[in-house]
Chains A and B, each alone.
Chain A
Amino acid sequence: MNSKMSDRRGFLKGTAAMAGLAVGAIPFANGNALASVTPGEPNTSMGVTKLGVTPDEPNIQDLLYGGRSRYETTVRIPSVGWNGATGLRNLTPLQDSIGVITPSSYHYLVQHDMHITNIDPRQHTLMIYGMVDRPLVFTMEELKRLPSVSRIHFLECTGNSGLMHYKSMLHDQKLGRADLTVIQAMHGRVSTSEWTGVPLSLLLKGAGVQKQASWLVAEGADLCRHAKSFPLAKAMDDVIVAYGQNGEALRREQGYPLRLVVPGWQGVNNVKYVKRIKLVDKPYYLGRETSSYTNLKPNGKASWYESQVGPKSLITYPSDAHHLPERGLYEISGLAWSGRGAISRVEVSTDGGRTWKDAQLQQPVFRKAFTRFRLGWNWSGAETVIMSRCTNEYGDIQPTMLELAKLWGDQVTPHYTGEEIEHWWETAAIMEFLNNPILPWRVKPDGSVQDALYNTLYNTNGPSKNSYYSGGKI
């Protein structure tokens, strides 16, 4: 093993430890409120008595915030490769998702440094300035007095499902990580929450946006001070300055006490800990809109400021995190979303793309949000490939990997094939950002389930001969 390899291993361990630490350090409400009580000990100090008689029974203080059954062990996992090594990036366990809401504790997390900030909401303010008639500073208390909206929207990381993560995943598995599945490691950078806050348009109108303003720059108060510019037109459309998530305050790692939610747009725009919004007359060409979050094509030109997330779906059960115990009846279940509007249709194939059936959509269907789809399936026990494909209300259809590759101007990323793994990280900033291909799973006769897309892409030079690569049209 060369020194680079051992460095990486060391770093991965460090990352896992850091991630664990960060999670463990989040104070629970009960821990704060009743700090003098030793967890697990009968608590009489506040006149509160133990509820039950067996050692399993929770103390009342454990029930004040609420915990889950000890039999439930699903967690987010840290991301893979450099992507998991230079910042805190935790992935949503889509394989265990139920319904359309992602519990806040499962919401994916991409933080560009190793730090999650702790902001006192009484100290936090939001300033609107730049090209406005009335620059304004708001306290949290003031923002909460304003008319609010609650909307259900997905957030998806720009790099979700990117091919580079597959390389990293194999690499990390080689180094001994045993917690990685394709569904979580490749696709776990997407989640859906109910977000509550003030429409940004209300604040902007009140501040009096000047005629020449056409963009804005939002800045966060975290230590790496994430900043992103995006067009004013989007801000006036449906952006929320959110303080609530799933019926409570934002989680600390989701931007407590205040963040932007930019519905349907790539995650990088949804600035957390938002503290300043500057109205300007052009894009600001910041690091996160030039060096990264841009999409370099084989011809050396890069597209930038890509925003709207394409129609995307995947089967979450069964997936490669599951094992089918026997042949028989199963409910295939999955999630579909689109940055442009509501999902209107999801089709599922259980025969490798030969035939497709309409799945049932969970009602109501929310715009720019997860839509749960379900379809009954009688598995014969034979090897087969299952996959889903969605359509949004405008008729945009989830593309095949081949169609995506054409859109990228790519032979499915020649830069990813046949390169030495030792070199991959030099180019790892290249992400393919339009990652909404049809995602097939192969069900094996022994009941195991495998990814049927990425392995075929990665192991070949040039376009794959594998039929699933072209969307399963055999």
Chain B
Amino acid sequence: MVLLACGTAMAQLPIYNVGRAPTEAELHPSDGVVGSDGKELPPGRGTAKEGETIYAAKCAACHGKNGEGIYPWPRLVGGIGTLNTPIPVQTVGSYSPYATTIWDYIQRAMPPFPLEKNLTPDNIYALTALLLYWNGIIKEIDVMDKNSLPEVQMPNRHGFYPDPPQSTPNKDGTWQPYWNQAKPAAK
């Protein structure tokens, strides 16, 4: 953050001299994006038990009493072991590779408009813990926080490819899914 103190010249787009340095608060948004290593997770904690009342009040109407889903709202529980069967059931339990994704998604988008988004970090930790518990991934008493959540091993952690995802284009400029491979055999 030393750079920020370097005056206006440093805090603007060179040449065009527009833009300003963000404030400390802007640099660490309370609703900021959370990646798989969890380093952006805020302080706070929660357990599945604590999540139950919040879930019943704010989530059950759409996702079902036990996370089983009510059409057209998605189910959040079950499906582990089904991904290679004729009816794969994709839920945040059976399909998500990282537990941090669940935290980020609830924080970001749930509950949806027109309901008010007023979950505290503690609430979100508790709800994430509840969904992980209902999916049989953690125990009811396990505390989810900034340190424990990124450590949770999701059953489908290695279910995606390529892993890691492609970061640079192939030599010929293509990106996944490599359309040149779809080229029909010569006629």
Contact = CB atoms under 8 A, between A and B. Distances in A.
A136 B16 contact: no
Nearest to B89: A426
Contact of A303 (B88, B101, B177): B177
B159 A4 contact: no
B5 interface: no
B35 A136 contact: no
B1 to A, nearest CB: 9
B86 A287 contact: no
Interface stretch (A70-78, A94-102, A215-223): A215-223
A138 B160 contact: no
A394 B21 contact: no
A164 B183 CA distance: 25
A429 B74 contact: yes
A109 to B, nearest CB: 15
A278 B33 contact: yes
Nearest to A112: B109
Contact of A291 (B33, B96, B165): B96
A294 B160 contact: yes
B90 A296 contact: yes
Interface residues of A, number: 89
Given A114-B112, A308-B175, A227 B33 contact: yes
B18 to A, nearest CB: 4
Contacts, number: 238
Interface in B11-56: 11-16, 18-22, 26-27, 29, 31-36
B114 A11 contact: no
Contact of B87 (A134, A227, A397, A426): A426
A133 interface: yes
Interface string A34-58: 0000000000000000000000000
B65 interface: no
Given A8-B71, A129-B22, A430-B88, A396 B164 contact: no
A340 interface: yes
A307 B176 CA distance: 6
Interface in B144-187: 159-162, 164-169, 172-177, 179-184
Contact of B97 (A11, A138, A285, A434): A285
A415 to B, nearest CB: 6
A143 B19 CA distance: 9
Contact of B20 (A136, A278, A396): A136
Nearest to A408: B177
B18 A142 contact: yes
A219 B35 CA distance: 13
A303 B177 CA distance: 9
B112 to A, nearest CB: 4
B36 to A, nearest CB: 5
Nearest to B9: A134
Nearest to A473: B187
Contacts of B87: 415, 419, 423, 426-427
A276 interface: yes
A287 B71 contact: no
A407 interface: yes
Contacts of A206: 13-16, 19
A130 to B, nearest CB: 9
Given A282-B35, A285-B36, A287-B109, A137 B71 contact: no
A112 B162 CA distance: 26
Chain B, interface size: which category?
A: 35 or more
B48 to A, nearest CB: 20
Contact of A136 (B22, B90, B183): B22
A290 B101 contact: yes
Contacts of A311: 179
Contacts of B19: 136-138, 142, 206
Contact of B18 (A85, A138, A298): A138
Q: By CB atoms of chain A within 10 A, which of B26, B86, B113, B175 has the most? A: B175
A243 to B, nearest CB: 14
B72 A395 contact: no
Contact of A300 (B70, B84, B168): B84
Contacts of A280: 35
B20 A399 contact: no
A110 to B, nearest CB: 14
Contacts of B167: 214-215, 231-233, 283
Nearest to B35: A284
B102 to A, nearest CB: 8
Nearest to A145: B18
B35 A415 contact: no
Given A113-B112, A134-B21, A227-B33, A207 B176 contact: no
Nearest to B187: A473
Contact of A231 (B18, B104, B166): B166
Contacts of B125: none
Interface string A228-266: 000111100000000000000000000000000000010
A211 interface: no
B20 A86 contact: no
A173 B174 CA distance: 39
B95 interface: yes
Nearest to A127: B22
A203 interface: yes
Contacts of A234: 169, 175
Contact of B176 (A225, A308, A399, A403): A308
A286 B173 contact: no
A396 B179 contact: yes
Contacts of B29: 276
Contacts of B16: 145-146, 206
21 contacts: A7-B71, A8-B71, A115-B113, A127-B22, A137-B20, A145-B18, A206-B19, A224-B108, A232-B167, A287-B101, A290-B96, A304-B161, A308-B176, A310-B179, A394-B180, A397-B182, A403-B182, A403-B184, A415-B87, A423-B87, A430-B90
